[in-house]
Amino acid sequence: AFDYYPEVLMTRDALLEKLANNMSEKRFRHVQNVGKAAAELAERWGYENVQKAELAGLLHDYAKEESEATFKSLIAKYQLEPELLNWGNNVWHGMVGIYKIQEDLGLTDPEILRAIEIHTVGDAKMTLLDKIVYVADYVESGRSFEGVELARELAYKKSLDAAVAYETAQTVNFLSAKRERIYPQTLATYNAFIHAIK
């Protein structure tokens, strides 16, 4: 239905080809699924620019397969918070990945960039588009982990806030079970949204 994405000055076909050349087949399928889920959630929850939601979904993991060296050089080049150096790809591909997206695709739309920046860790304050991308990433049709059905139920039927709360609680559980460090902004998201699911 949508043939041209003005935010990246590209047709849909050109964008898909660029994405396919920048990531594994598996991740290419994932980002297409997230684009579709983001468009559905935009329709469901009244985000007016459905095409923009889809584009944010398509781009959200653009930098996921970049090297550690690339992320470290982007952190230096753009003088980002040095504290970021203590984290890894999981945090970098969104928080730092937006600089790679700006360089490679010329994307300047601040709402899309912000949604991609926080798609892994969320934030205490999230816009409708931020929530759509955060949740679409978790409930897209290719996901099959335990709890995904409840996540979809919350996302499509209850509310995006409840879906953000559930996803963040599950992520905190999962990271804690693996004795992984939790990025402070992830905990801020948990504290800000957990009320929505109690």
Let me know: does 158 contact 151? Beta carbons within 8 Å: no
Q: How far are the Cα atoms of 94, 131, 168 from residue 42, in angstroms, in the given order?
A: 21, 10, 20
**Which of ligand GDP, Fe ion, none interacts with 90 (beta carbon under 5 to 8 A by kind)?**
ligand GDP
List 7, 40, 54, 61, residue binding ligand GDP (CB under 6 A): 61
**Whole-angstrom distance, CA of residue 102 vs CA of residue 64:** 15
With residue 152 as reference, give the H or E element that holds it: helix 148-153
- Nearest approach, Cβ of 134 to ligand GDP (angstroms)? 8
- Nearest approach, Cβ of 12 to ligand GDP (angstroms)? 21
List 176, 181, 191, 195, residue binding ligand GDP (CB under 6 A): 181
Return the structure tokens found at 185: 């902004």
Nearer to ligand GDP, 14 or 182 (CB): 182
In the chain the first and final C-alpha atoms are separated, in Å, by 39
Should residue 119 be labelled a site residue for ligand GDP when binding is judged by CB under 6 A?
A: yes
Phi, psi values for residue 4, rounded to 5°: -140, 135
Interface contacts to ligand GDP, rule CB under 6 A: 61, 64, 90, 94, 119-121, 137, 171, 174-175, 180-183, 186
Q: Which residues here bind Fe ion, judged by CB under 5 A?
A: 61, 137
